[in-house]
Chain A
Amino acid sequence: MSFPWAHEYTPSHPFMKWMDEKLPLPRLVYNSVGSGYPVPRNLNYFWNFGFLALACLGIQIVTGVILAMHYAANAGVAFDSVEHIMRDVNWGWMLRYAHANGASAFFVVIYIHIFRGFFYGSYKAPREMVWLLGVVIFLLMMATAFMGYVLPWGQMSFWGAKVITGLFSAIPLVGEPLQQWLLGGFAPDNASLNRFFSLHYLLPFVIVGVVVLHIWALHIPGSSNPTGVEVKSESDTVPFYPYYIAKDGWAMGLFAFLYCAMLFFFPNALGHPDNYVPANPMSTPAHIVPEWYFWPFYAILRAFTSDFFFIPAKLMGVLAMFSAILVWFFLPWLDRSPVRSGSYRPAFKKFFIILLIDVLILGYCGGAPAAEPYVMISQIAAIYYFAHFLIILPIVSSIERPDPLPFSITEAVLGSDEQAALAPAE
């Protein structure tokens, strides 16, 4: 693993020597986030978001574990137990707002992290496994957040659970029994709430496990960088400690500032007022909308309004919604361009920007009522979404002519690299 010039861990203190022989944990830390891990010197701020995602996971687990000490997963009292946290538990309001806004912050960070990957071709060889594990994490995050949102047992919790589990009923033959099996009944009730809480507590730790694999897989080839040119020599890299610890550290400060501004001054801005109304199976809210981070996918789900040949519209919507994420798994093989970074791919760059705007439009429509013109707009936006990944990307990547790449990272940063003179002409 890593490059030949990586610093070697040499414990000096007798205890650390002893420890290193018995269980080389300090060595592991040194080699993964210490001086033993060489990183490209030219990473821009988009490379801070993996670290920030880790911080978010930490915040969610710490606040979540403490909330769980005061929360009661019983349909009769869940809503009131959350209000008990808000009113009577010392600093309970802060924990709860930290957790709810923490979920939003987590998704903001993860979306930037993912779009960084789209633009800089981070999913390409030799980092396919890192990417695949990342998509798994994203799916687990969505499941975790969905189940977490059910826990306060407000109107949106209840109706969101009903709509989302209802998606499974679109599956032919087994759909209805499957939905009942998932919920433990005909509609969301105590049984559903209990299993959702159990899984909501479990999944974050599964995420921790997959994150370990994600970082392990990353550290085999090492990080990519904004030029997409692989590391060639020592002058292309700097050791993670102190260079990237310092950079991640200050980025973390900025992130914490924005997150706390949200938490203390606009804690309900991203929430839905209906979730402050206790769940009521007899009264359907005027508009059932999920949390904002699901909106793009929700828009795709609702964009299918007509049966397509023999496939019911609802089933099409469900297939499309899941496929919208599953296509990411195939990205390393759909984008055939040997050039990683979008900076050197003029045609790709344009389509990338369209995709970015497209997803924002989908997000906007997903949060809007299911009425015109939003449905028609989301239909067009969804067409582009699928066309981008499944049609445009494979074709563009084979026909576009990339711009010339720098010889090395060092050349890109310093303007010249003495290694270039020594290298055989390419």
Chain B
Amino acid sequence: MIRIISILVGLFFTLGLAWSFGNGAYTAITEPAPVTAEHEFHLVPKEVHFASDGPFGKFDRQQLQRGFQVYKEVCSACHSLRLVAFRDLAALGYNEAEVKAIAKGFQVPGIDPNTGEANMRPGLPTDYFPKPFANDVAARAANNNAIPPDLSLITKARHDGGPYVYSLLTGFQAQPAELLKEFPDAKTPNGLHYNPYFANLNLAMAPPLTADGQVQYGDGTKSTVDQMAKDVSAFLIWTAEPKLEKRKQTGWPVLGFLLFATVLGYMSYRSIWAEKKKKKA
């Protein structure tokens, strides 16, 4: 009895699926899905290496400081970094006085101690990076109706984070002629910018890094656009996971210990079972 019911239920589902399959196949043949410009012109991020990559990866603190400088002087005009506090910058190799000075250079929302009115005051190490726009409406109004996303987690929030940000920053270009020939409707709308690394090819951010020397590095590194893009990407890898280096450094002794314990465990297993494994032949 149960087998008859089972076969009937089985037929119900398989026929339902076969019906869906048939309809799907018919549509696929009669109205094949249109090819889109994104499908043909979107590019995967460029190959680029960061010091923090790989199982032995370590942050290059010099580079993080340069990246921070790029963020501060360029990106912070539009993008917040709300999960990072000034005190966290100590991890980039700044000493206490330097952290205090950096914090002081930012104006953060405060309260006037005499009147209780909201005001702006210089930042303290315990403060978080301030938001460049008062609210989302203001952010949209200033950015062609797009909100510049918070960058704290951006390299974890996109596939291939670091390389993606680097490719995006260095990937702005004129829309290829072949694209327009093939998809005349896909012309980059006014106020957007063509970038093949962005998911839908057109984004509201104007190229933020445009000229070599846009940021003056203090450590003698030449600030080409490529270098600045790499540095700020490295910095954003750090902001997304400040504990990345510690994680990898903790991993090795843990694995070493486990390997040792496992080998011991295996040897005791072998010796305990030795008698039982012998064939009588």
Contacts and interface: CB of A to CB of B under 8 A. Distances in A.
B62 interface: no
B13 A320 contact: yes
Interface stretch (A111-119, A163-171, A301-309): A301-309
A334 interface: yes
Interface stretch (B67-75, B187-195, B227-235, B240-248): B240-248
A320 B262 contact: no
B268 A246 contact: yes
A73 B231 CA distance: 36
A97 B279 CA distance: 45
A379 B2 CA distance: 26
Contacts of B28: 372, 376
Interface residues of A, number: 65
B43 to A, nearest CB: 17
Contacts of A86: 241, 243
Interface in B1-48: 2-3, 6-7, 9-11, 13-21, 23-25, 28, 33
Contacts, number: 166
B199 interface: yes
Contacts of B261: 253
Contact of A334 (B2, B17, B247, B273): B2
Interface in B242-281: 242-243, 246-248, 250-251, 254-255, 258-259, 261-262, 265-266, 268-269, 272-273, 276, 279-281
Given A383-B14, A390-B10, A416 B24 contact: no
A305 B240 CA distance: 40
B210 to A, nearest CB: 28
Given A87-B83, A371-B33, A387 B10 contact: yes
B140 interface: no
Contacts of B19: 306, 308
Interface of B: 2-3, 6-7, 9-11, 13-21, 23-25, 28, 33, 55, 83, 88, 149, 152-153, 156-159, 161, 199, 240-243, 246-248, 250-251, 254-255, 258-259, 261-262, 265-266, 268-269, 272-273, 276, 279-281
18 contacts: A93-B243, A249-B268, A250-B269, A264-B255, A265-B248, A273-B159, A276-B156, A305-B20, A305-B24, A308-B15, A320-B16, A323-B9, A333-B2, A372-B33, A376-B28, A379-B20, A380-B21, A391-B10
For the complex of A and B, 3 pairs with smallest distance between CB atoms: A264-B251, A390-B10, A253-B262
Given A246-B273, A264-B255, A305-B20, 4 more contacts: A243-B273, A249-B265, A277-B149, A376-B24
